[in-house]
Amino acid sequence: MAEPTTTLPPSRPSRLVLAIGSGLGTGYAPIASGTFGSALAVAWCLIPGVAQTSALLPMIVVLLILGARVAGKMEDYYGPDPAEVTVDEVVGQWITVLFLPFSLPLLVAGFFLFRIFDIIKPYPARAFDRRRGGWPIMLDDVVAGIYANLVLQAAVRIGVFG
């Protein structure tokens, strides 16, 4: 007769993991935590110099790598793609405005475009969303950010934000 196996529940992630993974606590908003995470990213862009590519690109790279790790730990604790994880929205929102001139109208348009693409999850975002792990959690928002960025790039080029 096989002995019963007991599995311990995963331990609560450290405060640092929770702070990073939850987008400085935005993941604990009672509703629409992803929207709060995106709003945090927009607020960061209002700090002078942050929205410049030379500052934003390294922030994206670091937070993408770090975010994948902490999102995976938080998923182990909270379950698949938990609402508490909003670091992915921060990265996706920053990708939305990467390589674009800074302007408040662009930032606002980018916020709404990213939220739309994050919600509808066009290919391949939905494919990532169906998988478990820190990287898929991050990558579906990277895709949403790329789509939103492409729309904004086109809008800038045709003079909508000129």
Q: What is the pTM of this model?
A: 0.91
Query: How confident is the model at residue 11, as a pLDDT?
Result: 85
Query: How confident is the model at residue 75, as a pLDDT?
Result: 94
pLDDT of 93-109, one tens digit each? Answer: 999 999 999 999 999 99
**Which candidate, 114, 125, 115, places its Cα nearest to that of 32?**
115
Q: Any idea which residue has 């994948």 for tokens?
A: 68
The contacts of residue 158 (CB under 8 Å, 6+ apart) are none
Every domain of the chain and the residues it spans: 34-157
- What stretches in the chain show pLDDT beneath 70? 1-6, 162
Query: How confident is the model at residue 4, as a pLDDT?
Result: 66
